[in-house]
């Protein structure tokens, strides 16, 4: 028989936030090959004595001081004394640095990282100390040499993946300064920072944004799009800190570049709206109105879909739109169910506003004189034509080529190809072009039986309406007759 007892509800236990020590605790008993070890002996006293002797010896001979610690390092490592081994390897690196024995420092780091049964936490601590030493190196050449040494040591080691990412970032910045962008991009894109569990989200987003930027420098828009999907945009809304806002703005600026390259105007509109909603931008009225104008224009440039129409109406009811009244008027033209004259309205009244700007409303740069600007201007003409075509299809069943070209502000030849594209894309259903008669049919011709059904339905509606009207007339007559009888005095 099935167990019908209900499970007992248990509240989850709050374990609190994990600390750095908690995150590294699992490394303490792990050897370099992943095996677990138990500490056999505590070497704290021996290590204290060895470090004191090494400090005194380092004043005369740094090399001898470092070599004197090799034996105790081996004992603590093989004895799995994590704390003592960490102290020893850190002190060995410190002696080399303070004694300015740069070659010995790099050799020591390489040697310690290749030891048998090495303790992961000890190596991780040593690498962190060495990373902090980079900025204190006397020459740029020594800095790069130490960075390359540490990158070699950290290659393929998960427990120092964050340090490797930071070291790689240093190399990438130097390569970019030297103009070696392709080499820098290749090196940075090798990092899979989205899988780094020990890296903070803010730092992770920063690396992903840099990867996006370098991908765009190489015109690799596909890779940039893939990387952008690794960033959870909810992160930007969790904090109003200025550095998080800067990351958000950088992300959406890169996304705008991708959207413009792909011709996805609706996404570009959304990105401008996200920038506009950022606290840092709202505090700057000039930047805020600029992004609001851009959002309006790119929404109008997007092809008509349910999403575009919904976004258009949501923008139209924003109170902030009152700060850009001219753009609100243009927006209302596309919402109203009326024809828009491209030459008589858009070009005559708003071309200067859209393409060159005015004192009150500066130029957005969307319709500049560049190749992309001219293309967007022609796209606006197409969007006006699509709007007009939808309005014409509502009220016409058929129309001549010449009249349609006049209403759409297109030459006849361009009008034909324009209407054909609308029919093929499904924006206008049931339309056909009859070239011999030079007529555009905007309704599907119905079959005889179907037409008879429509007529029969119309006749039925007419008779129902007549019956209802006659009933109401008769009712009014009876009411007035009774009123007259009530008013007339009896003889």
Q: pLDDT by residue (tens digit) across 131-173?
A: 999 988 888 999 999 999 999 998 888 888 999 999 999 999 9
Q: What's the rounded mean pLDDT across residues 311-339?
A: 91
Sign (positive/negative) of CA torsion 162, 163, 169, 175? negative
Q: Are residues 376 and 402 in the same domain?
A: no
pLDDT of residue 16: 43
In a domain, 189, yes or no: no
* CA dist 343 → 209, 366, 409 (Å): 43, 19, 7
Q: Is residue 49 part of a domain?
A: yes
**What is the pLDDT at residue 32?**
53
In a domain, 8, yes or no: no
Look at residue 12 and tell me whether its pLDDT is greater than 50.
no
Distance CA 66, CA 51 (A): 10
pLDDT at 338 over 60: yes
* Among 345, 361, 391, residue at a domain's last position: 391
* Angle, vertex CA 304, rays to CA 298 and CA 307, nearest 5: 80
Q: What is the pLDDT of residue 274?
A: 93
- Residues with Cβ within 8 Å of residue 21, at least 6 apart in sequence: none
Residue 282 within a domain: no
For the chain, give the mean pLDDT.
85
Same domain (yes/no): 29, 44: yes
Q: How far apart are CA 402 and CA 411, in angstroms?
A: 9
Kindly state whether residue 440 falls inside one of the protein's structural domains.
yes
Percent of the chain predicted with pLDDT > 70: 90
Regarding whether 28 and 143 lie in a shared domain, the answer is yes
377 and 428 share a domain?
Answer: no
Write out pLDDT tens, residues 462-487.
999 999 999 999 999 898 888 877 77
pLDDT digits (tens, 9 = 90+) for 285-301: 889 999 999 999 999 99
Same-domain check for residues 108 and 74: yes
pLDDT, tens digit, for every residue of 411-445?
Answer: 888 888 888 888 888 777 778 888 888 888 887 66
Residue 386 shares a structural domain with residue 400: no
CATH number reported for the structural domain that contains residue 437 in this entry: 1.10.10.10
482 Cβ neighbours under 8 A, 6+ residues apart: none
Q: Of the residues 171, 204, 219, which one is the last residue of a structural domain?
A: 171
The reported pTM is 0.78
Claim to verify: residue 78 and residue 147 sit in the same structural domain: yes
C-alpha distances out from residue 258 to 146, 350, 363, Å: 37, 28, 22
Residues 412 and 469 in one domain: no
| pLDDT for position 241 | 87
One domain, residues 145 and 63: yes
| Residue 55 forms part of a structural domain | yes
Residue 254 lies in a domain: no
Q: Is residue 185 part of a domain?
A: no
- Provide the number of structural domains found in the chain: 4
Specify whether 142 is located in the same domain as 58. Answer: yes
Q: Which residue among 113, 141, 171 closes a domain?
A: 171
The residue range of the domain holding 318 is: 287-391
Q: Identify whether residues 429 and 297 lie together within a single domain.
A: no
Helix axes 325-335, 306-316, angle to 10 degrees: 140
Task: Check whether 403 has a pLDDT greater than 70.
Answer: yes
Q: Are residues 38 and 129 in the same domain?
A: yes
Residue 47 has a CB neighbour count (10 Å cut-off) of 23
321-335, 362-376, 421-435: segment of lowest average pLDDT: 421-435
């Amino acid at each position: 028989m099935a167990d019908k007892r209900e499970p007992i509800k248990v509240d989850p236990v709050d374990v609190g936030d994990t600390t750095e020590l908690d995150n590294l605790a699992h490394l303490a008993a792990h050897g370099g090959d992943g095996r677990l070890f138990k500490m056999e002996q505590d070497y704290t006293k021996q290590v204290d004595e060895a470090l004191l002797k090494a400090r005194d010896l380092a004043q005369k001979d740094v090399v001898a001081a470092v070599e004197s610690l090799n034996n105790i390092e081996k004992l603590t490592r093989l004895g799995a004394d994590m704390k003592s081994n960490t102290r020893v390897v850190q002190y060995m690196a410190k002696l080399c640095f303070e004694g300015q024995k740069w070659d010995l420092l790099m050799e020591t780091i390489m040697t310690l990282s290749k030891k048998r049964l090495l303790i992961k936490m000890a190596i991780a601590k040593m690498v962190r100390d060495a990373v902090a030493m980079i900025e204190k190196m006397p020459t740029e050449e020594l800095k790069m040499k130490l960075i390359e040494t540490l990158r070699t040591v950290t290659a393929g080691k998960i427990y120092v993946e964050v340090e490797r990412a930071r070291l790689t970032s240093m190399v990438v910045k130097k390569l970019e300064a030297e103009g070696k962008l392709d080499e820098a991009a290749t090196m940075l894109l090798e990092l899979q920072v989205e899988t780094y569990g020990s890296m903070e989200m803010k730092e992770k987003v920063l690396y992903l944004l840099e990867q996006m930027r370098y991908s765009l420098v190489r015109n690799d828009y596909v890779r940039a799009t893939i990387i952008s999907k690794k960033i959870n945009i909810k992160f930007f809304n969790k904090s109003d800190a200025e550095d998080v806002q800067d990351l958000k703005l950088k992300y959406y600026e890169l996304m705008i570049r991708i959207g413009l390259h792909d011709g996805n105007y609706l996404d570009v509109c959304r990105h401008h709206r996200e920038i506009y909603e950022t606290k840092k931008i709202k505090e700057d009225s000039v930047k805020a109105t600029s992004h609001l104008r851009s959002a309006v224009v790119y929404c109008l440039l997007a092809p008509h879909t349910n999403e575009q129409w919904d976004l258009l109406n949501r923008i139209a009811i924003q109170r902030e739109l009152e700060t850009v009244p001219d753009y609100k008027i243009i927006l209302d033209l596309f919402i109203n169910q009326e024809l828009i004259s491209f030459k008589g309205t858009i070009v005559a009244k708003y071309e200067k506003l859209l393409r060159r700007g005015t004192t009150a409303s500066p130029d957005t740069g969307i319709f500049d004189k560049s190749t992309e600007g001219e293309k967007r201007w022609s796209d606006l003409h197409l969007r006006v034509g699509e709007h007009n075509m939808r309005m014409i299809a509502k009220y016409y069943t058929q129309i001549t080529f010449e009249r349609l070209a006049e209403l759409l502000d297109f030459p006849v030849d361009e009008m034909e190809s324009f209407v054909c594209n609308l029919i093929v894309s499904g924006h206008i259903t049931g339309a056909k072009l009859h070239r011999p008669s030079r007529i555009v049919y905007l309704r599907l011709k119905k079959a005889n039986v179907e037409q008879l059904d429509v007529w029969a339905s119309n006749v039925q509606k007419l008779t129902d309406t007549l019956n209802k009207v006659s009933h109401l007339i008769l009712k009014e007559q009876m009411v007035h007759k009774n009123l007259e009888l009530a008013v007339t005095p009896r003889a």
